[in-house]
Amino acid sequence: MKLFVGLGNPGPDYAGHRHNIGFMALDRIAADHGFGPWRKAHHGQMAEGRLGGEKVALLKPDTFMNLSGQAVHAAVAFFKLPLADVVVFHDELDLAPGKLRTKMGGGHAGHNGLRSIHAHLGEAYGRVRLGIGHPGHKDAVAGFVLHDFSKADRDWLGPLLDGISDGAAALASGDTAGFLNLVALRISPPRKTPRAAPEPGPTAAAKPDAPQPSPLSALHQLAQKFRP
C-alpha cells in the first residue's frame, strides 16, 4: 500500500491558493481514478482506491500547513507504512511554474509543511515538487503562496494536473521515470509533423485545348485544298 499526501490549507478560503497545489493534485487523482468518497480520518480528509495494481490512500491534512506532520504521522502509524511508501505533493518556490521534480529524502528547504513532517517522521519519504515560481523577494513569499493562481497560470496548471493523473499509477508502482515521462507528455506534448501538401493535379487551364470546329464548310475546305 502507498500513501499519497497533498499539502495545503483546509477550507474554501484557501482552495485556489498556490500553497494548495498539493491538494489539487490529489483531488485530480481521486476524481480521474474512481477513488472512494473523501472522509474524515487521521486529522485530515482521506480517500482510498487503486492505481494500477497498487492500493493507495490519499490524505489531505486538516491541520493547516504548519502542522501537516500530525496528520501524516497518524496515517503512517495506522497503516504501519515504511516512509519509503509515502509520497508528499507540495508547492515548490524554487521551480519555475509548471515544472515538476521528484525527490526521495533530503531537507525541507524551509517549507513549513515539510518541516512539520520532518519533525514527526524524519526525512526519508518521497516528494513530488510542484513548481509555482518565486515572487522575487523573500518578503513577498507569504502573500504569493497564500493567493489564488492567476488566470495566466491556468495555461500550465491544467496540463500539469492532467500529467500527474496520467502518471499516478506509474508513481504508485515505483516507476518514477514512467511518471515523469507521462507528466512531460502533458506539459510539452510532441509537435505533430505537418503532412506534405499533395502535388497539384493538372488544372483546366493546363489541359490541351480541344480541337475547335472550323467555321468553313466542308466544300469550302476542299476548294481551299486544291487551290493552285
The full DSSP string for 78-144 is: HHT--GGGEEEEEEETTS-TT-EEEEES---TT-HHHHHHHHHH-S-SEEEEEE----SSGGGHHHH
Query: Is there a domain that residue 181 lies in?
Result: yes
- Grid coordinates representing 208 are 490541351
Rounded to an integer, what distance in angstroms lies between the CA atom of residue 48 and that of residue 30?
8
What is the number of alpha carbons within 13 Å of residue 101 lying toward its C-beta?
Answer: 12
Domain that residue 15 falls in = 2-187
Catalytic residues: 19
Query: Is there a domain that residue 223 lies in?
Result: no
Query: Is there a domain that residue 148 lies in?
Result: yes
Predicted confidence pLDDT, tens digits, the chain (228 residues)? 999 999 999 999 999 999 999 999 999 999 999 999 999 999 999 999 999 999 999 999 999 999 999 999 999 999 999 999 999 999 999 999 999 999 999 999 999 999 999 999 999 999 999 999 999 999 999 999 999 999 999 999 999 999 999 999 999 999 999 999 999 999 988 877 666 666 665 554 445 555 555 555 554 554 455 455
Provide the CATH number for the domain around residue 66.
3.40.50.1470
Instruction: Enumerate residues 6+ apart whose C-beta is below 8 A from 62.
Output: 10, 40, 43, 44, 45, 71
Query: Is there a domain that residue 91 lies in?
Result: yes
Query: Is there a domain that residue 226 lies in?
Result: no
Query: Is there a domain that residue 107 lies in?
Result: yes
Rounded to an integer, what distance in angstroms lies between the CA atom of residue 123 and that of residue 117?
8
Query: Is there a domain that residue 196 lies in?
Result: no
Query: Is there a domain that residue 106 lies in?
Result: yes
Predicted local confidence at residue 220, as pLDDT? 52
Question: How many domains is the chain partitioned into structurally?
Answer: 1
- Grid coordinates representing 92 are 515548490
